[in-house]
Amino acid sequence: MRNFLLVLLLSFSQNTIFASEWQVDTSAKNLVQCTSEVVVLTFDGVTDNIDGYLYWEGDSMFQTNSKLYFEVDLNTLETGMSKRDRDMRDVLETPKWQFTSFEGQISSVEKIDSTVTAFQIWTTGKMFIHGVSQEMEIPGIVTIETDGRMRVVCDFVVLLSDFNIEAPSLAAFVKVSNEIKLHLDFYLNESK
């Protein structure tokens, strides 16, 4: 009798627990853009090579126990000039640290519109670049598109020095800014 009650209880509890997991749609037109500046020049490193997931428990979006992980292959960043691409990979030491990643959770959510298809979110977690992990808070906008996909857009700044990366020089006297602006715009599909 005791085993029967235990099986019944476990069956009931599994049917009442809801969760949702979304995976990056790697076939979508995703964008990861790193913008660097020098005195008279701004250039972007761009890739669409982002992967990862967003997960939460509960029957409504972002309810509880959220987890997220996203990574970018730094070898796929392109600036439009092959020498600059090689120099960037040398500075980032991509043979040693090919991927950058962010792992964390959603710390806050606000609905942006009354139709509940757009949310302002804040995430907290660890950014990993060049062998160094740093705690970060990253804001973003999440929308549910008409095709059912989730779109994530976020803008934030990282400092090269926070990740033990020395800002390179383009010439003997022109140094790249320590501040790198990141813009991400990517899509996720719900896992079934």
User: Which residue ranges make up each domain of the chain?
Assistant: 21-190
Measured distance CA(190)–CA(178) in Å, rounded = 37
Q: What pTM was computed for the model?
A: 0.84
Superfamily designation of domain 21-190: Lipid/polyisoprenoid-binding, YceI-like (2.40.128.110)
Percent of the chain scored above 90 by pLDDT? Answer: 64
Sign of torsion, CA 139 140 141 146? negative
State the Rg of the chain over Cα.
20
Digit-coded pLDDT (tens) for 99-156: 999 999 999 999 887 776 899 999 999 999 999 999 999 999 999 998 999 999 999 9
Closest listed residue to residue 65, CA positions, set 24, 20, 11: 20
Q: Tell me the per-residue pLDDT of 155-177, one tens digit each, with 9 for 90 and over.
A: 999 999 999 998 877 666 677 88
Q: Are 151 and 142 in contact (CB under 8 A)?
A: yes
3: tokens are 């085993």
